[in-house]
Amino acid sequence: RMEGKNTSAAQNTPTTPQKERGGCEVLAMRLDGRLTRVLDGIDLRPVASEWRNVLLSAAPFLMYLFVFKYYVLLREVTGLSELTKPNRHVLPQLETFFFSCLPHRKFAVFANPLLDFVAAVPYLVHFPLPVLFPMYLYAIPRRRRQIYPFLWCAGWVNFLAVIVQLCLPTAPPWFADTAVFDEKGHLIAVANNEAGFERLDKLFGMQLFHSIYAASPVKFGAMPSLHVAWPAIILVSKPWVSDTVGVLHVVWIAWAALYSNHHYGVDAMAGILLVLLVNLCMTRIYCPFPMNHHEELAPLYGEDHQSLPGPGGAAVLPAEGADASQSGRDRLGLDKKEYLESMAALQRARTNSQSVPILHQV
C-alpha cells in the first residue's frame, strides 16, 4: 500500500521540463499584461496630429514640386507651348517704366571677380535655404510651431509663382540681351543660362553654375523671382537674427539677381509682392495654423503650449504682474509692440471666456 502511494505521488510531481514550461507561461502572461498596460497608457493622438500638420503644411510645396518637375510636359499637354511663347519684350518695357533705365545693365558696368563672388553667395545659399530655416526654427523650442505656417506660406508662394511661369513664360535679361534670331524668327545663338556667373565658372575652372541652371526645366521663369521671394518669406516669418538682417538678405539677393543678369528689377518686386499677398491671405482669410506669437509666450506659463490661446484652443491668462518690461521681452524674444499685442490677445481671451484657468505663475 505504501509503495503504491509513493508511486502515485511520483506520478503527480511535475518534471523539470514541465516546471520550465509552466514558468515561461506565467512569465509570458505577466509580460503580456504589463505590455498591455504600457500600450494602453500611450496616447498616439499627438503623434498623429503632428504628422497631419506636417503633411498639410507641405502640401502646397509638393504641388509646386510636381509642376516644376513636369513643367515641359504640362506645357505640351495643355497646349500652352503653342498658345504662350516666351515673351522677351514686356519685362524690359516695365523695367523702363518703373526705373527709367535697365538697372541690370548699369550694374554690369562694374562687373569684377570680387562682386561676382559676393553675388554668388546668396544664390548658393538659396538652394539649402528651404531646409536651413526650418532646422533653425526647430532648434528653438518656442519657435517650433512656426515651422508649419512658414512651410504653408513658402509652398503657396512657390506654387503660384510656377503657375504664372507655366502660363506666362518670360525671358530673363541674359536671354533678351544676347539672343540672335534669323529673318524667320528662329533662334541662332544665345548666351549660356548661368549668365553672369559664367565668369566664376571660368575663373575656378568648373561647371558649378552651368550644371545648376542646365538642370532646371523652367528656362523662362524670370517673373516672379523666387530667388528674392525666399528671403522675403523668411522676413515675414520673423527672421532668424533680426528684421534688419532679414531686410538686408532680401536687398542682397535682389541686387545679386540684377547684377548677374538673371532677373529684372520688376521680377524682384513681383516676388516680394507675391509673398506679401500670400501672407496677407494667411493672416486675414485662412491659414490652418496659428499666425501669432502666442507660442513664444510659453515661458510665462511653462511647457503646456496647447493651453495658450489659439483657434479653438483654451485660453490662458498671463500671470499676475506680467508686463512689457525689458527683461520680460528679452526673455521672450519679442519687441515691445509684439509683446503688448500678445498680452492684449490674452486679455481678450479672459473677457470672452467664462472660466479661464491660470496654469502657472511667473
What is the per-residue DSSP string for 262-329?
S--HHHHHHHHHHHHHHHHHHHHT--SS--SSGGGGGGGT-S-GGGS--TTPPP-PPPTT----HHHH
Residue 312 has pLDDT above 80, yes or no: no
Residue 269 is placed in which grid cell? 518686386
pLDDT band at 310 (very low <50, low <70, confident <90, very high): very low
**Alpha helix stretches (DSSP H) within the chain:** 2-12, 16-40, 45-69, 71-78, 80-83, 90-99, 103-108, 113-126, 129-139, 147-167, 173-178, 198-204, 208-214, 226-236, 243-259, 265-284, 326-332, 336-352
| Phi, psi angle pair for 57, to nearest 5° | -70, -30
Q: Are 176 and 193 spatial neighbours (Cβ–Cβ below 8 Å)?
A: no
Average of pLDDT values for 160-180? 93
pTM check: above 0.85: no
CA distances from 276 to 40, 51, 167, 283, 296 (A): 47, 28, 22, 10, 23
Residue 327 is placed in which grid cell? 527683461
Q: How many CA atoms does the CB half-sphere of 61 hold within 13 Å?
A: 16
Question: Comparing 257-266, 274-283, 319-328, which segment has the lowest mean pLDDT?
Answer: 319-328
pLDDT band at 64 (very low <50, low <70, confident <90, very high): very high
The neighbouring-strand residues paired with 221 are 170
Question: Comparing 103-117, 132-146, 348-362, which segment has the lowest mean pLDDT?
Answer: 348-362
What is the C-alpha to C-alpha distance for residues 146 and 154, in angstroms, rounded to an integer? 12
Output the DSSP codes for 76-114.
HHHTHHHH-PPBSSHHHHHHHHHHSS-HHHHHHTT--HH
Q: Which long-range contacts (CB under 8 A, 24 or more apart) does 94-99 make?
A: 94/264, 94/266, 95/264, 95/265, 95/266, 98/265, 98/266, 98/269, 99/265
Residue 202 has pLDDT above 50, yes or no: yes
- The pLDDT > 70 percentage for the chain reads 67
pLDDT band at 283 (very low <50, low <70, confident <90, very high): very high
| Phi, psi angle pair for 220, to nearest 5° | -125, 70
Question: Comparing 138-142, 247-251, 322-326, 347-351, which segment has the lowest mean pLDDT?
Answer: 322-326
pLDDT band at 34 (very low <50, low <70, confident <90, very high): low
Average of pLDDT values for 321-348? 58
